[in-house]
Amino acid sequence: CCYKNLADLGLELTFPETNSSLILVRKVPMCFMEREANELRRKRQPITKSIVEELIQEQIELVQATGGGARGTLPLTFLKVLASQACHGAIKFNERLTLEESCELIEALSSCKLPFQCAHGRPSMLPLADIDHLQQEEQPKPNLARLRKMVRAWQLFGK
C-alpha cells in the first residue's frame, strides 16, 4: 500500500512472485546516495542498505499502526538523512567568515521559519554582549520590549 508513495519519493521497489519475503530495491533517492558518498569519503562503511531497511521498517510500522491511512508527510528516515546533509554542509563553530559572508548568512537566516537552530535542534545563533558599551561609565538601558520579543520568538521557534 506504500509502494506509490515510496516511488514518488524516489525509492523503487519490486516484489518477486517466487519469494514473498523478498524486496528488491531498483532505485534509491538521490539524498541517500549523497549521504552514502559522504560516508565513503570519510572512509566509513556504506549505509544505503541500512537507510533503505530503516525506511521500509518505518513504513511497515506506520501501516500497522494506522491501517495504511497516514500518508502525505515526509518519512522520518528522509528527515534524518536531509538533516545530516544540512549539518555536514553547514558553517562550523570557529570557522572564519568575511563581513560579506556574515551579512549573507544573517540575511538568509532572517528568511527561515526556524532561524535559531540547526536541523538537529542545536542553536545556530547566540546573543552577544556589546563590548563597546562595557567600557562606558553610563551604560545604556536594555530595550526590554525588544528582548521580550526575542525571548518569545525563541520560545516559539527555538525548540
For residue range 48-89, list pLDDT tens digits in order: 999 999 988 888 888 888 776 666 678 888 888 888 887 776
d(CA 153, CA 115): 10
CB 36 within 8 A of CB 48: yes
For the chain, where are the alpha helices, taking DSSP H only?
Answer: 3-8, 30-41, 48-66, 76-88, 99-110, 131-134, 144-157
pLDDT for the residue 56: 86
d(CA 109, CA 103): 10
For residue range 13-47, list pLDDT tens digits in order: 888 888 778 888 899 999 899 888 888 887 889 98
